[in-house]
Amino acid sequence: MAERPPLDRPAPDGHGGGFSRRSFLKGASSVIAAGGVAARSLEAGMTEGAEAAGAGAPVISGETEITLDINGAARKLRAEPRTTLLSALRVRLPEPLTGTKEVCDRGNCGACTVIVDGRPVYSCLQLAVDLQDKRITTVEGLGSPEDMSPVQAAFCRHDALMCGFCTPGFVMATTACLDKHGTPSEATVRHELSGNLCRCGTYPHIFEAAQTAAKSRAGGGLR
Amino acid sequence: MTTQDGGGILPGAGAGADGSTDDASAEARAEWAGRDALTLLNTDIPRVDGPEKVTGRAKYTHDMRLPEMVWAKLVVCPWPRATIEALDVTAARAVPGVVYAEAYKQVGDELTYQGYDGIVAAVAAETPEALEDGVRAVVTGYSRNNPPLVTREQSLADGAPQIGRGDVNMRVESSTGDREETAAALETCDAVIEATYTLPVQHHVCLETHGTVVDYRGGTEATVYHSSQNVTGGARDFARHLELDSENVRVICQHMGGGFGAKFGAGEEGRVACVIARALERPVHLMLDRRQEFLMAGNRSGSRQVMRGGASKDGKLVALSVDAEKFGGMGPGSLPRPPYIYDVGTSFAEVRQVHTATDPNRAQRAPGHPQASFAMECMVDELAYAIGMDPVSFRKANLSDEVWHRQLDRVAAEVDWAGHPNKTTPGQPGADGMAEGIGFGVAVWGSGSRPSTVCDVRIAPDGAISGSTAVQDLGTGSRTLVAAIVAEEFGLGVTDVTAHIGDGKLPPAVYSGGSITTGSIASAIKDGAYQARVLLEPSVAAALGTEPGHLIWLDGRVYVDHALGRSLSWKQACATLAQPILGTGRWQEHLTGRGVHGAQSAKVRVDTVTGRIQVLKMVYIQDMGLPFNRLASRSQINGGMIGALSYGLHEVRVLDEDTGLMLTDGLGDYRIAGPQEIPELVALIDDEDTRQEAMGFAEAPIIPGHGAIANAVFNACGARLRDLPLTPDKVLAALAG
């Protein structure tokens, strides 16, 4: 039965010397950084990067020091052009912020959601070097256990978490939803949270928490 | 609820303090207080670690950052069956930042299944980026061995390589009843249904992947951070891999991102982390990536059940013949013995294991039960319609345990079954092509407890109070349970008590599997709190001028039962202690119980033009002995319903038949239910269960939901779907004919 077709290469992503779509995208980012192009979606960045490369822009590689505005403070860190914002937060910061979770690292699940200039983004799809002039808010920046934001407090009250691994992403997405819509309908909440996944099954309690937080914020104490 | 006014004798808030004056007899022992006397337990208790989790402060294994820590990753062959043609780590070692690259297999080695056997090498580096480069620099080449043996048909084909235990691809695991006798009984039935029910392999999809951070820097001791369902039992594996004494290996799991049955033992990823740590004498961070999690971290076995069932026209299940196959990859698969929950006059069941060259199945929330339930609930439903009987009445007629009768009535009422127009024949779509229907199912779980758990309850003169046991918290709320049971004993708030869990240096605790955690730990916590109270009461009673046994602990104070004006605050009470006290609690059989029931209804809308199924509402009721935390219990019930909905409508593992490559190796391709797919959910706690016993239940709610949905689809429009997931193409095919 041991029929042997030719060697199967390149192997899929991350296995045995293969060159993946993602590694290509992250590689392309080095040129964006050098070009000083403002942050944009990964796809747009790739296009710009390719153009810049064609124009002979300088390519940086290896570690450089960058500064990110995280939770209202300027944080210096060393990062490579391909370092994602997620990795910058979780690994590269001298005092890592591990509240932002890595689950799929592919933009499928929303666990790594942070708020950049007021908009929720997947930090696994953002390159840290692109974000040096942006305001980044992570789950740690919303509140502390002693002083929780309305969304965080409502999540606790409604038990909108079980294992808690998707929770930071949902807290950020819910916060962004309420920032955008004020007092959204449940349908709007579902829509705005539809980029996030939970495996324990906390969704109904998250929907309840969003409504409670919206009321609480409407009553003052906006954060 | 008991109040303080009136000056009468109040029931104590805690065990043994029933208000009688001579309860210091030899029989004194911890007892659960009556439900009316509870002030914290049996209410909604927000979990005590919620604030840490919602603010990102909770540290999971993934989040550990240790000095000198290296990042490590496995190199994995993607093909199920292959021969290694090339494997060279030389270039990886030369990558800047790479500190370790080793091959664990050799050129010429045959890889026999997709999973742990495919681990060919590992790399460790100073940064994740260097690790990525290092992994990419490992040279690998494989020739695939055909057939890949990833489907039932490939596995059972003539001449197929035999790969399972004992070199067989199929083995009969059990055979119960008499085939001929059952066939004869089927001949006597008024209605007989012949049907084949199939369910695909399901993944756990723990959001935190499997892995460890091994903190070993040489010497004789190590600390292992492990995303684990078995903190106490976990040290053994790691000690073996580190070649240390197990008492010198401390396993820590403060928080974990899901387990669902897949996270027992160190696993190969844990073993490799230990190998690297020993080589480098530095802490090693090794978590599976998402793709590896799909390839090698376990699954719920698939199932194919060929059934012939028969009923009499008066509504009795007369006979059932089942030929079942379990698809557990290289593992045995799981399936409880048919006919599962229902009473059947004469039955025969043969259960076979069918092996494919894929990752062995592992326990997954209610192992085997969702598979058995789907087939059985659909068969029961088909027979009910075949004899023209309401499917709720038909179920009750064939369930001897009457708990299910009241539960079925309750979930039927919640979806207005009484007002539903089509109870004995399927409905018709309206002019818009839409049809609505209702379906049912029931659940069972053994639950129970193990005697291994010990819980220390400490009280200090300054008022500090804690409960300590090594138990892990999978997200079910075990940390909160420790605090709540201790707090209840002394009339405190849940946040007044510090719960120490998830650390192998704490008193031993049970593993978390089969919903035995609550039953096992609750009795030990209760006993520890009771023992501590027995130690605390003498000095407090003396200060209040009374005897132990005459104290009432309520709302953060302690009162004298016959003189409520005399009281101390909690801190004043503790200040009567000369030194800290320790109550050591152990499992107490009389505080625990076993055996839980559930019932499910589901209401769906089927678009008969597009085949789309929208679940409108799901209602589930669960008994659970003494409910401890009603809020967390409803969360678990919701989670079960959503898990079943996700399994029923969305989840399917797909392996390419030609190459064996897993096509659903990410959360983009392996779909789980998201916010848009969630119906109205009603999670009910069955308060007619008055057992004063602790027991877990959370396996049960994931069992019947997908069967109830399939039955609702039939009730709506007559499309009988027997193959999960219930996708639109199958609806249209069934309607066509």
ipTM score of complex: 0.95
- The confidence score (pLDDT) of residue A14 equals 39
Nearest to B54 among A17, A156, A189 (CB): A156
Bigger pLDDT: B523 or B11? B523
Count how many pairs of residues, chain A against chain B, have C-beta atoms within 8 Å.
Answer: 240
Residue B251 near residue B234 (C-beta atoms within 8 A):
yes
pLDDT for B197-224, tens place per residue? Answer: 999 999 999 999 999 999 999 999 999 9
Q: What is the mean pLDDT of residues A50-64?
A: 57
Rounded Cα distance between B613 and B605, Å, is: 6
Name the pLDDT band for A60 (thresholds 50, 70, 90).
Answer: low
**Is A152 close to B51, i.e. CB distance below 8 A?**
yes
What burial class does residue B362 get, using C-beta atoms within 10 Å of its C-beta: 0-12 exposed, 13-18 middle, 19+ buried? buried
Q: For B247, what's the count of Cα atoms within 13 Å in the CB-facing half-sphere?
A: 1
Q: Strands of B521-657 (E only): list them.
A: 551-554, 557-560, 563-569, 581-586, 596-607, 613-622
- Residue A45 confidence (pLDDT) above 50: no
**Is A106 close to B140, i.e. CB distance below 8 A?**
no
- The confidence score (pLDDT) of residue A58 equals 54
Rounded Cα distance between B664 and B169, Å, is: 24
Residue B499 contacts by C-beta under 8 Å, 6 or more apart in sequence?
B48, B466, B467, B468, B479, B480, B482, B483, B486
State both tokens at A85: 């914002």
Rounded Cα distance between A179 and B258, Å, is: 30
Nearest to B475 among A156, A163, A191 (CB): A163
Rounded Cα distance between B593 and B511, Å, is: 18
Average pLDDT of chain B, as a whole number: 95
- The confidence score (pLDDT) of residue A20 equals 65
Q: pTM of the full predicted structure? A: 0.93
Q: Which of A9, A13, A15, A122 to substitute to test the interface with B, most B CBs within 10 Å? A: A15
Residue with tokens 């942006």: A134
Name the pLDDT band for A47 (thresholds 50, 70, 90).
Answer: very low
Q: How far is CA B136 from the centre of its chain?
A: 36
Bigger pLDDT: A24 or A108? A108
Alpha helices for chain A (secondary structure H): 21-35, 42-54, 85-87, 139-142, 150-157, 167-181, 186-192, 203-218
Per CB-CB distance under 8 Å, the chain A contacts of B205 are: 199
Alpha helices for B126-266 (secondary structure H): 128-137, 152-156, 179-187, 231-242
Domain B367-447+594-736 in the same topology as domain B2-31+451-589: yes
Name the pLDDT band for B275 (thresholds 50, 70, 90).
Answer: very high
- The confidence score (pLDDT) of residue A8 equals 42
Residue B225 contacts by C-beta under 8 Å, 6 or more apart in sequence?
B61, B64, B212, B213, B214, B215, B251, B252, B253
- The confidence score (pLDDT) of residue A185 equals 97
Per CB-CB distance under 8 Å, the chain A contacts of B135 are: 14-15
Domain borders along chain B are: 2-31+451-589, 62-76+82-145+205-296, 367-447+594-736
Per CB-CB distance under 8 Å, the chain B contacts of A138 are: 56
- Residue A49 confidence (pLDDT) above 70: no
* Of A133, A119, A25, the residue nearest A81 (C-alpha): A25
- The confidence score (pLDDT) of residue B28 equals 86
Rounded Cα distance between A111 and A100, Å, is: 7
Residue with tokens 């061995």: B145
SS3 track for B61-119: HHHCCCCCCEEEEEEECCCCCEEEEEEECHHHHCCCCEEEEEECCCCCCEECCCCHHHE
Report domain B2-31+451-589's class.
Answer: alpha beta
Residue in B closest to A12 by C-alpha: B78
pLDDT for B335-352, tens place per residue? Answer: 999 999 999 999 999 999
- The confidence score (pLDDT) of residue A4 equals 41
- The confidence score (pLDDT) of residue B17 equals 38
Residue B496 near residue B45 (C-beta atoms within 8 A):
no
Q: Strands of B613-731 (E only): list them.
A: 613-622, 680-685
**Is A194 close to B57, i.e. CB distance below 8 A?**
no
Rounded Cα distance between A59 and A80, Å, is: 12
Q: For B248, what's the count of Cα atoms within 13 Å in the CB-facing half-sphere?
A: 13
- The confidence score (pLDDT) of residue B512 equals 96
User: Rounded to 5 degrees, what are φ and ψ at A30?
Assistant: -60, -30
- Residue B675 confidence (pLDDT) above 70: yes
Rounded Cα distance between B218 and B128, Å, is: 24
B367-447+594-736 adopts what CATH topology? Aldehyde Oxidoreductase; domain 4 (3.30.365)
Name the pLDDT band for A54 (thresholds 50, 70, 90).
Answer: very low
Does residue A10 have a cis bond before it (omega within 30 degrees)?
yes
- The confidence score (pLDDT) of residue B563 equals 87
Torsion angle, alpha carbons of B9, B14, B20, B22, to 10:
-140
Residue with tokens 């207080």: B33
- Residue A22 confidence (pLDDT) above 50: yes
- Residue A46 confidence (pLDDT) above 50: no
Name the pLDDT band for A35 (thresholds 50, 70, 90).
Answer: very low
- The confidence score (pLDDT) of residue B306 equals 98
Per CB-CB distance under 8 Å, the chain A contacts of B476 are: 162
Q: Does domain B62-76+82-145+205-296 have CATH number 3.30.365.10?
A: yes
Does residue B725 have a cis bond before it (omega within 30 degrees)?
yes
Angle (deg, nearest 10), helices B705-717 and B630-649: 60
- Residue A219 confidence (pLDDT) above 90: no
Q: What is the mean pLDDT of residues A189-202?
A: 98
Per CB-CB distance under 8 Å, the chain A contacts of B78 are: 11-12, 15
| 3-state SS, residue B600 | strand
pLDDT for B237-272, tens place per residue? Answer: 999 999 999 999 999 999 999 999 999 999 999 999
- Residue B71 confidence (pLDDT) above 50: yes
Per CB-CB distance under 8 Å, the chain B contacts of A155 are: 50, 54
- The confidence score (pLDDT) of residue B27 equals 64
**Is B643 close to A201, i.e. CB distance below 8 A?**
yes
Rounded Cα distance between B443 and B598, Å, is: 5
| 3-state SS, residue A74 | strand
- The confidence score (pLDDT) of residue B564 equals 84
What burial class does residue A9 get, using C-beta atoms within 10 Å of its C-beta: 0-12 exposed, 13-18 middle, 19+ buried? middle
Order of strands, sheet of B581-586, starting from the edge strand that comes earlier in the sequence: B498-500, B465-468, B454-459, B581-586
State both tokens at B159: 């001449």
Torsion angle, alpha carbons of B27, B33, B36, B38, to 10:
150
SS3 track for B336-356: CCCCCCCCCCEEEEEEEEECC
pLDDT for B112-161, tens place per residue? Answer: 999 999 999 999 999 999 999 999 999 999 999 999 999 999 999 999 99
Q: Which of B45, B55, B472, B495 to substitute to test the interface with A, most A CBs within 10 Å? A: B55
Rounded Cα distance between B612 and B604, Å, is: 10
Average pLDDT of chain A, as a whole number: 82
Q: What is the mean pLDDT of residues B532-540?
A: 98
Residue B497 near residue B45 (C-beta atoms within 8 A):
no
- The confidence score (pLDDT) of residue A21 equals 65
- The confidence score (pLDDT) of residue A180 equals 97
Residue A151 near residue A141 (C-beta atoms within 8 A):
no
pLDDT for B548-600, tens place per residue? Answer: 999 999 999 999 998 889 999 999 999 999 999 999 999 999 999 999 999 99
Residue B362 near residue B299 (C-beta atoms within 8 A):
yes
Measure B417 CA to nearest chain A CA, in Å: 23
Q: What is the mean pLDDT of residues B27-38?
A: 92
Angle (deg, nearest 10), helices A167-181 and A150-157: 120
Judged by CB atoms within 8 Å, which residues 555-584 of B form the interface with A? none
**Is B674 close to A12, i.e. CB distance below 8 A?**
no
pLDDT for B366-421, tens place per residue? Answer: 999 999 999 999 999 999 999 999 999 999 999 999 999 999 999 999 999 999 99
Measure A31 CA to nearest chain B CA, in Å: 17
- The confidence score (pLDDT) of residue B562 equals 87
Residue A135 contacts by C-beta under 8 Å, 6 or more apart in sequence?
A69, A72, A116, A117, A118
- The confidence score (pLDDT) of residue A218 equals 87
B128 and chain A in contact, CB less than 8 A: yes
Does residue A150 have a cis bond before it (omega within 30 degrees)?
no
